[in-house]
Structure 1
Amino acid sequence: MSGAGHEDRERSFVIAQRANELMRDYGSSASPQAYAVWYTYVSGRQPQMNEAIKRLTTKSGTLSDDDIAELYEAHIDRRQIEGELDRHNAGLISEVQSIMEMIDLSLGSTAEYGASLQAISRDLHDTTPNRLKDIVATLIVNTRDVSASNRTLEAHMRESRREIEALRETLAAARLESLTDPLTGLSNRKHFEEMLRNEIDEGARSPRPSSLILIDIDFFKRFNDQFGHLTGDQVLRLVAIVMRETVASGGTLSRFGGEEFGILLPGIGREAARVIAETVRTTIMGRELVKRATGESLGKVTISLGVAQRCSDDTIVSFIERADSCLYAGKRMGRNRTVDDAEMSALPEVA
């Protein structure tokens, strides 16, 4: 067995053991669904589910079988979520089709009215008084029919507009959720890469500068293992809060996953980006972390950062790789520091 394969196998057993412990401590039964929920919780693959579990256990101290069933259905069995989106899309399509049918009916009614007016205009030549009465009566009836059809269409259009607006908001919320890291509220990697792609495309059309900051929490695994996942989540939120406090609107803030974060700064060059990076680093280092449950001081948290300014020939990959190289140069130099791509050529080679 390869080294990587052995590590994955050992990790799976560690996760399984911890899942069993949590299931025994917080669960009402050891069902397959409960095991799946707790295994997923320990693995960290569903951060949104982890948040829900923390809320439930904080409130009641346990997870009931009903809680487990709801968590499993909402976060592990993705078919429900996909079904909801399918239903919303189907509802939107149905509303549009209904509007089109009403418009077709209205157009048909209007066309008939127009044909009737043309026939009446022809009959107005050399007509008798009695015939004129008939024409006026017909015109009144046809006008009433068209008015009624238009009122029906208008009412239906108003109702459909409300329905479509509600569906649009639901779909927009679903899209936002798919682009957001639920633990920190920052963009997830998918959205961050979309914004990077847009910035690379914009850079091909505009000479404006832009910079990328990559962040990694120092010794995060050691901290997580020592104080637990709940405290580890507190550290991740701290980094996100400081990023929001430091970066002005216009920047894109992201959590890639794990303890890795990114900041995209359109219109900002290397020197200004480095100032922002250093502000984030020193602010985080200056805040003492306290365990909420006990008030115990957990010491300081430090981060390492890499800063790169976009080059004219950059791709998404090369832009990220350059910032990543700066980040890990800082790690090799002792951590808790910022390195930018202008410094890299002056740094000593490290094996």
Structure 2
Amino acid sequence: MQPGQTDGARAIAERAMDAMARHDVPATPENYTIWYAYAAGSDPELVKALDVVISNHRSFTAERNAEIYERFVSRSRLDHTVQAAGEGLETAMERVLRLLSDYGADQSAYGRKLAQISGTLDGGPTAETVQTVLRQLRQETRAILIKNQELEHRLSRSKREIEQLRKDLETVRRDALTDPLTGIANRKQFDQRLREACAAALEDGGALALVMADIDHFKAFNDRFGHRVGDEVLKLVARHLRNHLKGRDTPARYGGEEFALILPATTLEGAAVVADQIRRSLAQHSLTSRQTDLRYGKVTLSLGIAVYQLGERLDDLLQRADRALYLAKQDGRNRVCTEAQLPADAPGEVPAFTTANLGRLGA
């Protein structure tokens, strides 16, 4: 590294550490990786994500830091894995093509040899020439059979390699779209599924409902019992969401303790029924430690619902569902609110939902 590059890296590192100190971010290797990239401006999506959190005055909790690291650093590693698998597949295909090319050359050579051997009989067959021809045919045929067997073996091995690469790519694709903790769709898959669902609704004129859900008092719960128990709460909620949905419905972890449900072919009233079933079912369960029988208490959800208006921007749909979720929080939590309950003429009474608002409510 040149002196100028060293000075530049040092300046970026200092900006990263200053930003971490300013926002109370622990100086772990994972956090430093994120904030160095932020200070360097090397990943525009990462910069935008952190700026949103900062502008909404949200704190960088351990959960949020882990989520950001998983979203951006792990994504980069997945990209490298995809690239490596793609290069392996390309190498395997080149090997197969080379084998097939060699096979074609061997077959052509075999054909020319047969023609040459048969030419020895043009002057009239004799016992001696017939014996010679038979001997040469046996030799050439044995040689081509050995080559064919070797080709078959090598093609079989290449087939296994290609099949393994295909499985690796499928695993990478699945991991890239799945939240590693809860096993349901992650934010990336949610965005993709929501776009697809809106496009389908726009095409056939069908209904589409979006439910935003947030775990009540999750931060206090997490602070009291620890992150391991907090993770169990997140997994419990994900299981309830998955168990109450079916068909084309998509449950997703939207971020932190917030979840989202995409419900195609579902009206506002139908989505409210589903959301309330989820809320009631979860509220009936009490989380207990299997090791100590310690009761952690009940876990409840607040949920907000909006339906897609054909042709509208997805941001507008998300904002209405967020505002309905905010209203559910404001009205006492552990309840379902729909966009129909939002004030029509006084949007200021229920502000557009932001993570900063949830912070003030003690989400």
TM-score by length of 2: 0.69
2:272 matched to 1:252?
A: no
For residues 296 and 7 of structure 1, what CA distance do their matches in structure 2 show?
40
Q: How does 1:66-81 map to 2 (within 5 A)?
A: none
**Contact residue 209 and residue 263 of structure 2 kept, 8 A:** yes
Distance 1:11 1:319 in 2: 31
Q: Does 1:95 align with 2:92?
A: yes
- What amino acid maps onto 2:304 in structure 1? G
Aligned to 1:129: 125
Aligned residue for 1:54?
A: none
CA separation in 2, counterparts of 1:132 and 1:243? 81
The aligned residue for residue 187 of structure 1 is 185
Change (3 A) 1:152 1:281: same
Letter in 1 for 2:168: T
Counterparts of 1:327 and 1:248 in 2: how far apart (Å)? 23
Say whether 1:326 aligns with 2:324.
Answer: yes
Report the counterpart of residue 273 of structure 1 in structure 2.
Answer: 271
Within the alignment, does 1:218 sit opposite 2:220 as a pair? no
Shift of residue 77 of structure 1? 9.6
Report the equivalent of 1:53. none
Write the distance in 1 (CA, Å) between the matches of 2:170 and 2:142.
41
Instruction: Report deviation, 1:151.
Output: 2.4
In the alignment, which of 172, 175, 188 is matched to residue 173 of structure 2? 175
Q: Contact 2:78–2:172 (CA<8 Å) still a contact in 1?
A: no
Hey, what's the Cα distance between the residues in 2 that align with 1:258 and 1:90?
35
Offset at residue 345 of structure 1 (A): 5.7
Query: CA 1:324–1:79 in structure 2 vs 1: closer, same or farther (change >3 Å)?
Result: closer
The whole-number CA distance in structure 1 between the counterparts of 2:339 and 2:61 is 38
Shift of residue 113 of structure 1? Answer: 4.0
1:313 Cα deviation after fit: 0.8
Q: Is 2:78–2:176's contact at 8 Å kept on the other side of the alignment?
A: no
In the TM superposition, residue 254 of structure 1 has moved relative to its aligned partner by 0.9
Unpaired runs of 5+ in structure 2?
1-17, 36-59, 351-363
For residues 76 and 196 of structure 2, what CA distance do their matches in structure 1 show? 32
Deviation at 1:7, TM superposition (A): 11
Q: Does structure 1 retain, via aligned residues, the 8 Å contact 2:81–2:172?
A: no
Say whether the 8 Å CA contact 1:48–1:183 is kept in structure 2.
no
Cα displacement (A) at 1:134: 6.0
Residue aligning to 1:298:
296
Paired with 1:322 and 1:264, the residues of 2 have a C-alpha distance of 14
Match of 2:353 in 1: none
Measured in 2, the distance between the counterparts of 1:206 and 1:77 equals 37
* Structure 1 residue matching 2:305: 3-state secondary structure: strand
Aligned CA-pair RMSD: 3.9
Q: 1:102, CA displacement in angstroms?
A: 0.2
Partner of 2:108: 111
- 1:46 correspondence with 2:61: no
Contact residue 47 and residue 183 of structure 1 kept, 8 A: no
Residue by residue over 1:249-281, the C-alpha shift from the partner in whole angstroms, topping out at 9 and shown as x without a partner, is: 432211122111011123333332221111111
Distance (Å, rounded) in 2 between the aligned partners of 1:201 and 1:144: 62
TM-score (norm 1): 0.71
Q: Distance in 1 between matches of 2:74 and 2:272?
A: 43
Equivalent in 269, 273, 287 of residue 289 of structure 1: 287
Q: Distance in 2 between matches of 1:92 and 1:265?
A: 38
Q: Which amino acid is the alignment partner of residue 42 of structure 1?
A: A
Amino acid across the alignment from 2:229: T
Instruction: Pick which of 81-90 and 325-334 moved more.
Output: 81-90
C-alpha separation in 2, matches of 1:156 and 1:307: 58
Shift in alpha-carbon separation, 1:135–1:255, aligned structure 2, 3 A: same
CA distance in 1, matches of 2:76, 2:327: 43
* More displaced 10-residue stretch of structure 1: 77-86 or 315-324: 77-86
Contact 2:31-2:65 within 8 A present in 1 as well: no
Q: Which residue of 1 aligns with 2:198?
A: 200
Distance 1:330 1:118, change over 3 A: farther
Q: Amino acid of the residue matched to residue 247 of structure 1?
A: L
Q: Conserved in 2, the CA contact under 8 Å of 1:212 and 1:310? A: yes
Shift of 1:241: 1.4
- How many angstroms apart in 2 are the aligned matches of 1:318 and 1:181? 25
Give the Cα separation in 2 of the matches to 1:148 and 1:312: 66
